[in-house]
């Protein structure tokens, strides 16, 4: 695991270097200052890392995919800049969000121009034999991330969300952008169709597991490690994997009533978080979610069977393990 951390750090430093060289606060400053602010604000750079090691797994040359890796990181940050307006989030990574530090028009326009720059980076592959597929996959990613956010918004007002609806939503909202990473990395590495499917399935399963873990951490993490309030999803009325399954399983009247209140009032106040946690424990929802996440992680490993052995395949597997080490 130490090797992994070392390589992760090394690749991430290369990514940071490229980001710092590419995005300078040029005129018009009203959009390029916030663009620079958003893209250099940190973040784990998981998406560029995945893109680069996917390219490495196919071609042995991860850095050929740097422009694609950064294009996706820009796409990801574009969604954050716009989501923060929609969710009225004042802080991200401990700093004011773009719309709070500047204003809404600036944040809207900054996000918009970021999409343009993501595609501009992909221009650098215009002589690549897989160029059209690169553009198509990136565009599919952009559309599905927006659709995922739309489904997520719609869930707020829906009384009935099935587990299938939920998995479909997190597929688009969370897994799709990871899939775009692995697909673009694979395409830059000029992968075969089987390799493309392997990388795509891997990232899909990883993404779903990641979101399930996120749902679980919201209620079961230690406060200090989470970096946000425990039970935020319950406060906000989010229809997570936990609440959907609690609704299916709860039988005792007071538990049914609590869940009904959650649905009718689009969330519960802070006082009810311990009761809701109690309900989750009582019906085995925490274990069920952890198991479901574990199942997807196993599928992610299995997906990689068609990828040739070597350092970068190891890194893809270690990335799964690293994510599985999250505390809950």
Nearest CB to a second copy, comparing residues 154 and 254: 154
List helix spans (H) across the chain: 2-22, 29-39, 46-59, 66-86, 98-101, 104-122, 131-157, 163-170, 176-188, 193-220, 223-226, 232-236, 241-249, 253-264, 273-282, 285-303, 311-324
CA distance 277 to 280: 5
Closest contact distance (angstroms) between CB of 214 and a second copy is 21
95's enclosing H/E stretch is: strand 95-96
Closest contact distance (angstroms) between CB of 8 and a second copy is 31
Nearest CB to a second copy, comparing residues 127 and 251: 127
**DSSP class of 240:** -
Binding site for a second copy (CB under 8 A): 28-31, 78, 82, 85-86, 104-106, 108-109, 111-113, 115-117, 119-120, 122-123, 126-127, 131-132, 135-136, 139-140, 142-143, 146-147, 149-151, 153-154
Cα of first residue to Cα of last residue in the chain, in angstroms, is 20
Nearest CB to a second copy, comparing residues 24 and 29: 29
Residue 95 structure tokens: 């700093």
Nearest CB to a second copy, comparing residues 71 and 268: 71
310's enclosing H/E stretch is: none
Residue 40 structure tokens: 């250099």
Closest contact distance (angstroms) between CB of 261 and a second copy is 25
Closest contact distance (angstroms) between CB of 117 and a second copy is 7
Nearest CB to a second copy, comparing residues 112 and 321: 112
Closest contact distance (angstroms) between CB of 294 and a second copy is 30
Closest contact distance (angstroms) between CB of 188 and a second copy is 15
CA distance 39 to 22: 10
Nearest CB to a second copy, comparing residues 127 and 223: 127
Residue 187 structure tokens: 């395409």
């Amino acid at each position: 695991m130490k090797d992994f951390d070392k390589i992760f750090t090394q690749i991430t430093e290369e990514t940071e270097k490229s980001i710092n060289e590419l995005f300078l606060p040029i005129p018009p400053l009203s959009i390029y200052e916030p663009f620079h602010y958003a893209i250099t604000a940190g973040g784990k750079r998981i998406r560029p890392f995945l893109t680069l090691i996917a390219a490495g797994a196919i071609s042995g040359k991860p850095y050929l995919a740097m422009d694609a890796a950064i294009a996706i990181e820009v796409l990801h940050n574009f969604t954050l800049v716009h989501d923060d307006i929609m969710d009225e989030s004042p802080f991200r990574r401990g700093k004011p969000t773009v719309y709070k530090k500047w204003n809404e028009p600036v944040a809207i326009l900054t996000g918009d121009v970021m999409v343009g720059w993501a595609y501009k980076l992909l221009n650098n592959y215009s002589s690549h034999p897989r160029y059209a597929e690169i553009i198509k996959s990136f565009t599919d990613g952009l559309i599905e991330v927006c659709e995922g956010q739309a489904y997520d918004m719609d869930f707020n007002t829906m009384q009935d969300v099935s587990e299938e609806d939920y998995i479909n939503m997190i597929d688009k909202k969370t897994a799709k952008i990871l899939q775009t990473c692995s697909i673009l990395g694979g395409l830059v590495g000029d992968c075969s169709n089987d390799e493309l499917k392997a990388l795509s399935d891997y990232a899909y399963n990883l993404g779903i597991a990641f979101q399930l873990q996120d749902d679980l951490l919201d209620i079961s993490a230690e406060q200090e490690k989470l970096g946000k309030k425990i039970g935020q999803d319950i406060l906000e009325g989010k229809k997570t994997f936990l609440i959907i399954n609690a609704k299916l399983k709860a039988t005792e009247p007071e538990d049914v009533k609590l869940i009904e209140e959650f649905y009718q009032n689009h969330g519960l106040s802070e006082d009810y978080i311990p009761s809701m946690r109690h309900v989750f424990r009582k019906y085995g929802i925490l274990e069920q979610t952890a198991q479901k996440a574990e199942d997807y992680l196993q599928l992610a490993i299995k997906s990689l069977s068609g990828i040739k052995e070597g350092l970068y395949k190891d890194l893809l597997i270690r990335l799964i393990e690293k994510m599985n080490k999250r505390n809950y």
